[in-house]
Structure 1
Amino acid sequence: MSLILTRSVIRDLFAGGGGEGRGEAVEEVERAVGRAHRDLARGRAVLPAPPAMRQPAGDGAYLAMAAASAPDRLATVKLLADLPANRERGLPVQRSAVLAVDAETGACVALLDGAELTRIRTAAATAVATRALARADARTLGILGTGPLARAHVRALLPGRPYEHVLIWGRTPANAQALAQWITAELDVPAKVFADPRSVTEHADVLCTLTPSRDPLVHGAWLQAGQHINAVGAPPRPDHRELDTEAVLRCRIVVDAYDTARAKSGEVLIPLAEGALTEDAFRTELGSVLTGQAPGRTTDDELTLFNSVGVGLQDLAVARLLIDRAAERGVGLTVDLAG
């Protein structure tokens, strides 16, 4: 039998249940994602670079994001459709679904909608990286972007952390104001809207870039000693980036997975094509930092960058969590695909 988890069911499972709070659910996702990266570093998981299939006409692309994990006993593939033309149709630019099979028998375990899963696991990976790389005395969080990914990130980063202020910029001022009001009301942290990305960048101890930008929003001249930057929002395309070359060169780079970054991340591929950096500059993976195979932050003045492309192993880890939660609570639709 196979379990089907819709977006609404996944949202409810992430929100907590059985007396459990949303904060505890978010922390559980963070632990699952961190463990997955440690498993990758220790050779207990497999994560190939995702192949990209381009449409014969137009600029649409499809990515097959695969992974397998011995501890989680799953193999998964998320088919991600990245369709810029959907914006004019009033539809989401990115859509995805995750297929999970039993790693031993190959039986289909579950089919999950990918939207909410992707947002939450992406924010969890940022939280894991920020714990590992940001200064312990970081007090100001900067957010560039105001969409659902921004809300997922503040939910993952703020509770239980010592942030005293959130600084926000968005292309639409009204959306930025709405996000600031939500943060203050929901999470009880003061939030302020700034008029441009530079002002947020210059004043943030931890900066998250969460926009689908093709051209850089953050410039190296704006960075301050000791900052940690999470570059998250750009689509997995080699010609999209949120940081310019100078910003990347000023930072010590940690990636979620080298093979994926080497294939899909404009953040490193554009400077690489320019001859401004070498592949060795972005070989350090998050899992290696978490297991102590590579150092995290080495000095208070160091600039660190987590280049988050998003990987299938994160999807797998959260799919495992959702499948187990759904079974415990008796939710989701069960079907016999072989019937």
Structure 2
Amino acid sequence: MTRIVTDDDLDGLVDTDALIAAVRAVHLDEALGRAVQPVPTLTETGPDTVLLPMIATSHRLGLTAVKILTDARANGPGDGPAQQSTIVLLDARTGARRAVLTGGRITRERTAAATAVATDALARPDARVLGMIGAGPLAVEHVTALRRVRDLHTVQVWSRTADRVAEFRTALRKREAADGVAPIEVRAAADPRAAVEACDVLCTVTPSRTPVVEGVWFRPGLHVNAVGAPPRPDHREIDSAGMARATVVVDSREIQLAKSGEVRLAIADGSTTPGHYATELGDVLAGRRPGRTGPEEITLFNSVGVALQDLAYAALALDLGP
């Protein structure tokens, strides 16, 4: 019998530490040939809507995930969020359908878990201040996950409105109380530059089409997680100078070259070459390629989000591990 799982069913179900470990494991699996995920094809389904079917198979877990993601940036109040997704989980050998899951909560939590894995691998061990560009639900998930891998004491957050920052603070305090952790200090940054220049680890979690962060602001030793841009090759949060200044690690090289605006636009204007994006997170975890090589190096994890992360979450939530 197929299990139907909603966001409400998943509320509080998956432990953050366990999810970080599961996401780390599937990235390592891909590097070691125990998992595969082809490059998805972007299809226009409306005047301003695209559909992205994302597929991944874990041979270790014996599961295949098919995520159907839509990005409808013109959605109004009655249309639902701009991004919506559904995940179908299959038995990799027989093709039998194991579960159908709504993807909103899964996407937020597995994205933050992947950022935590990358931050643990790439950020300086003494990182204490987190910078956050964007203050929505994804920002709350990132603070929660990153506190599991670094002893952070302050988050410098910037959003376009003071109300948004206030909502972020309230949501974060509620999450901290539920998790039983001490409140982290939250400071509102006057502008994106102030947030960048004050932090050791930076997360960008906006759906921006044009860069909100400039590479000239990067301090030596900074680690950046570029997370928020939707799967459109003309959207990016980090400018070309930022991509060129940093040692870049990606979640999937081929998928990045196909659909990451940060990558494609920096290559198009000559700031970088495809070789700049040769290192995948799994390669760093497996010790096949270096990540950070010195305390002054600027590192950047460019995240487009991949179906293996959704698969890892679903397997954990449904207790389908080995």
TM-score (norm 2): 0.95
Q: Rg: which structure is higher? A: 1
Structure 1 position 104 matched with structure 2 position 99: no
Match of 2:183 in 1: 188
| Matches for 1:218-297 after TM superposition, within 5 Å | 218-297=213-292
Deviation at 1:12, TM superposition (A): 3.6
Q: Does 1:78 align with 2:59?
A: no
Task: Provide the secondary structure at the position in 1 that maps to 2:67.
Answer: strand
Residues 159 and 31 of structure 1, relative CA distance in 2, 3 Å threshold: closer
Hey, what does 1:167 align to over in structure 2? 156
- 1:40 pairs with 2:30: yes
- Letter of the 2:85 counterpart: S
Q: Which runs of 5+ in 1 are unaligned?
A: 15-24, 328-339
Distance 1:301 1:50, change over 3 A: same
Q: Distance in 2 between matches of 1:317 and 1:63?
A: 19
Change (3 A) 1:31 1:159: closer
How far apart are residue 160 of structure 1 and its match?
Answer: 6.0
Q: Distance in 2 between matches of 1:169 and 1:204?
A: 12
CA distance in 2, matches of 1:153, 1:236: 19
Q: Work out the CA distance in 2 between the residues paired with 1:184 and 1:112.
A: 28
The percentage of counterpart residues that share the same residue type is 47
Does the Cα contact within 8 Å between 2:137 and 2:168 map onto a contact in 1? Answer: no
Distance 1:9 1:118 in 2: 15
**Is the 8 Å Cα contact of residues 183 and 190 (structure 1) preserved in structure 2?**
no
Q: How does 1:305-324 map to 2 (within 5 A)?
A: 305-324=300-319
Separation (CA, whole Å) in 2 of partners of 1:52 and 1:183: 34
Structure 2 equivalent of residue 26 of structure 1? 16
- Could you say if the C-alpha distance between residues 247 and 66 of structure 1 is closer, same or farther in structure 2, counting changes exceeding 3 Å? same
The aligned residue for residue 136 of structure 2 is: 147
The answer to whether the aligner puts 1:7 opposite 2:7 as a matched pair is yes
Of 30, 35, 52, 2:42 maps to: 52
Q: Which moved more, 1:82-91 or 1:2-11?
A: 82-91
Q: Which amino acid aligns with 1:216?
A: P
Aligned partner of 1:128 in structure 2 is 117
Deviation per CA, 1:8-33: give whole Å up to 9, x if none: 0011413xxxxxxxxxx000000000
Superposed CA RMSD in Å reads 1.5
- C-alpha displacement at 1:213, in angstroms? 0.3
Partner residue of 1:304 out of 294, 299, 307: 299
Cα separation, partners in 2 of 1:244 and 1:160, compared to 1, 3 Å: closer
- Whether contact under 8 Å (1:221, 1:247) holds in the other structure is yes
Determine if contact 1:184/1:190 at 8 Å carries over to the other structure. no
- Distance (Å, rounded) in 2 between the aligned partners of 1:314 and 1:283: 20
Instruction: Show the counterpart of 2:179.
Output: none
Q: Any gaps of 5 or more consecutive residues in structure 2?
A: 177-181
Per-residue Cα deviation, 1:116-171 (whole angstroms, up to 9, x for no partner): 00100000000000000000111100111111101111111124631121100011
Say if 2:120 and 2:149, in contact at 8 Å, map to a contact too. no
Give the 3-state SS of the residue equivalent to 1:92 in structure 2. coil
Moved more, 186-195 or 75-84: 186-195
Structure 2 Cα separation of the partners of residues 115 and 213 of structure 1: 19
- Structure 1 residue 184 displacement after superposition: 5.5
**How many residues of Structure 1 are paired with residues of Structure 2 in the alignment?**
315
Kindly provide the amino acid, as one letter, of the partner of residue 157 in structure 1: L
Maintained 8 Å contact 2:23/2:114: yes
Letter in 1 for 2:263: V
Check conservation: 2:2, 2:99, Cα contact below 8 A: yes
